[in-house]
Structure 1
Amino acid sequence: MAAITSGYDRVKAVKEFDESKMGVKGLSDSGIKTIPQIFIHPQQTLSDIKSTSKQTTSIPLIDLSNVASPNHRPNIIKQIKEAAKTWGFFQIINHNVNVSSLDNTINAIESFHNQPHETKSKYYKRDEGRGVMYASNNDLYRTNAASWHDSLQAWMAPEAPKAEELPEICRKEMVEWDFHAAGVAEVVFELLSEGLGLERGKLKELSFCETRVIVGHCYPYCPQPDLTMGITPHTDPCAITLLLQNQVPGLQVKYEGEWVDVNPVQGGIIVNIGDFLQIISNGEYSSVQHRVLANSNKKSRISIVMFLNLSKWRGEGYHGPLPELLSPEKPPVYRDFTTQEFIENFYSKGIDAKSFVDKVKIQN
């Protein structure tokens, strides 16, 4: 563990890094051999950072090629339900999106991050809740230790950005991926809905496909990967997340108390359950901790995350477990909560695991 420098002023160091607009990619490209103090994590965070390359288990891989078949659909629903309940993560293949389209999206985001930081800096800002933003660590000012990644974020719906707001180098691909991902999400929400014993269109009807945010992460080479994280352990606050990744490893999921590597599958789309869906499913589905290790490869790890959440809250502006899932035998595990509570919980601190789930859990 590196020693803390005497007289170190973290607030000043964070501000200087942020105002440089270099991002960690700029630091990495500059050839630094030691990482700045603001990225060094406490020992308890780093105590179990290792790749479990000898693992024999991984997140479920689910083939959607026969999803429209009355003979095969029930089995696919069963697989999705089991994966969403036990792993909180699964990977889908044969999802009707061309592999070339996925690769083009990954390559375009990589091209954006590979530009000189002087070129990217015009997009660098901190305006998280809308529009288009490029920055390093969305929670940079809310966390005690920064992580080794940069992100390009674009809110695609309910209000789409103007074309010129998206960087030209990845504009076409981001718009196309938004279109394809919305279609994939609709199918996944149908299967998840049926897995809960609800009507096929129930989760879509609740508007869960209508708030969409694309975040293109870049995890560049880190000269001291044992001192920092790519992204710290967390759960996603949304309903579900769709994720594309290139062939550089690093993503891990917590399963039965162990960190499990999520190995890239060519043409696969990773789906993970968010806190919101855990709550409204009354705990039938589980959001699960995941993290990304700092990248020791010379090639950058690229991942493209789409967060999906509802756009229309109930008339009174609150949500909670779906009434259809409740009964005397299955009482609510969580209380109702408001839009404001949900948003404030996310923006009041660094990313974390299930803090909102814990906040609305009904204590017996």
Structure 2
Amino acid sequence: MVKNEKSIRDGVEAYYDRKSELIAFDETKAGVKGLVDKGVTKVPRIFIHPPDKISANNKKQLKFPALIDLDGIEEDSSRRKQEMINGTHRFFEQDVEVKKQWYTRDNTRKVVHNSNFDLYHSPAANWRDTIYCLMAPNPPKPQELPETCRDILIEYSEQIMTLGCKLLRLLSEGLGLNPNHLLDMNCAEGLGLICHYSPACPQPELTMGITRHSDNSFMTILLQDDLGGLQLLHDDQWVDVPPNPNALVVNIGDLLQLISNDKLKSVEHRVLARKVGPRISIASFLSTGLQDTGRMYAPIKELLTEETPPKYRATSVKEYCQFFQAKGLDGTSTVSHFKL
């Protein structure tokens, strides 16, 4: 027997069979976009978050001084970014029957389309659909990628790897290490692209685009459209990150925080649901080959002293990511689980 759960909607408590509603939503394979296409006017209960998880608690818009000019690393980068946004948009705008061939809960596949990877164990679902492509070290065959965004996925991934390697060299130098130290640790061996599609939401005050989390990567390079909605946690308050069509957002991931022994910190962030949409973003996660279970990652010994001993235990990237997947986006820290 499925246990009924309690939901609060418009101030009225109601009991409902949450698991059955999750299964019914998932089995359509149409995602959140399918709900919007049907003309939904209220957010279904499975998407409703407790008010304290959505509360704004906003600061005035923070100015971001760390805008780094890397112009010249690639030619015509603005064109490539726009093509990537357009390709993602075309994928989600396809007929549901066309997209169903990629819809799966099997996260070991190289191309995965679904709505909420943690749908069945998150406290509440987020208002978004996603396509995930594992592009390195062993990319899918071109014919395995969706035709609408195949060519730009391949081209964009190559450019992101070039940029990621450059950034990791700069970070290595900033830590006082050999410029290739992080690259030699395979921090850019793997690349996963996660393309999020968040349709216009009829009641954005009740749900989230993406709940609070930090990234299970060494580094994340984010491309977003001009709608905004991304917020980061700064001094215990949520700060809007204004979209910049000429820039990419770079996040330190949990794994880089772990091996740098907190010299580099990952930033918790979230995305608001919006009345307007769709909002499209593409997050490129630099990591290792997830099937490589042999290598263990721990705080880099060159960064340790008697005064600054290791703060984290050793882990493999596979173990770290499996814990992240099982935990889901529940608003709690992943990296703290590995603290000594």
Is 1:18 the counterpart of 2:26 in the alignment?
yes
Distance 1:353 1:12, change over 3 A: closer
Could you say what secondary structure the match of 2:160 adopts?
helix
Q: TM-score, normalised by structure 1?
A: 0.86
- Number of the residue aligned with 2:155: 176
Question: What CA deviation, in whole Å up to 9, does each residue of 1:76-112 have, x standing for no partner?
Answer: xxxxxxxxxxxxxxxxxx6435210111011110111
Indicate if the aligned counterparts of 2:293 and 2:316 stay in contact, CA closer than 8 A.
no
Counterpart of 1:63, as a letter, is D
1 CA distance for matches of 2:142 and 2:318?
A: 30
Confirm or deny that 1:233 pairs with 2:212.
yes
**8 Å CA contact 1:242, 1:306 repeated in 2:** yes
Does the residue aligned with 1:216 lie in a helix, a strand or coil? strand
| Aligned CA-pair RMSD | 2.1
Match among 15, 39, 42 for residue 34 of structure 1: 42
- Using the alignment, how far apart are the partners of 1:313 and 1:292 within structure 2? 30
Match of 1:58 among 42, 45, 64: 64
1:159 alignment counterpart? 138
Q: Distance in 2 between matches of 1:112 and 1:33?
A: 24
SS at match of 2:21: helix
Which of 236-245 and 260-269 deviates more?
A: 260-269
Q: Equivalents in 1 of 2:208, 2:293: separation in Å?
A: 41
The aligned amino acid for 1:101 is: R
Deviation at 1:223, TM superposition (A): 0.2
Q: Separation in 2 of the partners of 1:44 and 1:183?
A: 40
- TM-score by structure 2 length? 0.91
Choose 242-251 or 25-34, whichever is displaced more. Answer: 25-34
- Taking a change above 3 Å as real, the CA distance of residues 128 and 59 of structure 1, as seen in their structure-2 partners, is farther
Q: Is the 8 A contact 1:243 1:303 kept in 2?
A: yes
Partner Cα distance (2:65, 2:123) in 1: 30
The yes-or-no answer on 1:214 pairing with 2:220 is no
Q: How many residues align?
A: 331
**Identical residues among aligned pairs (%):** 41
CA drift at 1:201: 0.7
Q: 1:212 to 1:314 in 2, by over 3 A?
A: closer
Farther off after superposition, 170-179 or 96-105:
96-105
Is 2:328 the partner of 1:342?
Answer: no
Q: Secondary structure at the match of 1:175?
A: helix
Letter in 2 for 1:330: T
Give 5+ residue unaligned stretches, structure 2: 1-8
Contact 2:261 2:311 in 1 (8 A): yes
Measured at CA, do residues 31 and 355 of structure 1 come closer, stay the same or move farther in structure 2, by a change above 3 Å?
same
Aligned to 1:129: 108
Deviation digits for residues 291-313 of structure 1 (CA, Å, limit 9, x no counterpart) = 0000211x311000111112389
2:304 is aligned with 1:304: no
Describe the shift of the 1:312–1:236 C-alpha distance in structure 2 as closer, same or farther (beyond 3 A): closer
Q: Answer whether contact 1:109 1:302 (CA < 8 A) is retained.
A: yes
Counterpart amino acid of residue 48 in structure 1 = A
1:64 counterpart letter in structure 2: L
Contact 1:232–1:291 (Cα < 8 Å) also in 2: yes
Deviation at 1:314, TM superposition (A): 9.4
Which residue, 351, 355, 359 being the options, matches 2:329? 351
* Alignment CA distance shift 1:3-1:119 (3 Å): farther
Question: Distance between the aligned counterparts of 2:300 and 2:292, measured in 1?
Answer: 11
Instruction: Find the counterpart in structure 2 of residue 47 from structure 1.
Output: 55
Whether contact under 8 Å (2:288, 2:317) holds in the other structure is no
Alpha-carbon separation, structure 1, partners of 2:292 and 2:192: 21
Q: Which AA in structure 2 matches 1:321?
A: P
Residues 1:5 and 1:29: Cα distance change in structure 2 (over 3 Å): farther
8 Å CA contact retained: 1:206, 1:312:
no
- Asked if the contact 1:209/1:310 (under 8 Å) is kept, the reply is yes
Task: Identify which of 188, 201, 224 aligns with 2:203.
Answer: 224
Specify the SS of the correspondent of 2:68.
Answer: strand
Q: In 2, Cα distance between the equivalents of 1:271 and 1:63? A: 13
TM-superposed deviation, 1:119: 2.2
3-state DSSP of counterpart to 2:334: helix
Task: After TM superposition, give the deviation of residue 269 of structure 1 in Å.
Answer: 1.1
Letter of the aligned partner of 1:170 in structure 2? C
Q: SS state of the match for residue 183, structure 1?
A: helix
| Structural mapping, 1:288-303, within 5 Å | 288-297=267-276, 299-303=277-281
- Contact 1:49–1:226 (CA under 8 A) maintained in structure 2: no
Structure 2 CA distance, aligned partners of 1:59 and 1:239?
A: 22
Picking from 242, 254, 266, the partner of 2:233 is: 254
Aligned partners of 2:62, 2:138: CA distance in 1, in Å?
43
Shift of 1:47: 2.4
Matched-pair contact (CA < 8 Å) for 1:252–1:260: yes
2:105/2:114 contact within 8 Å kept: yes
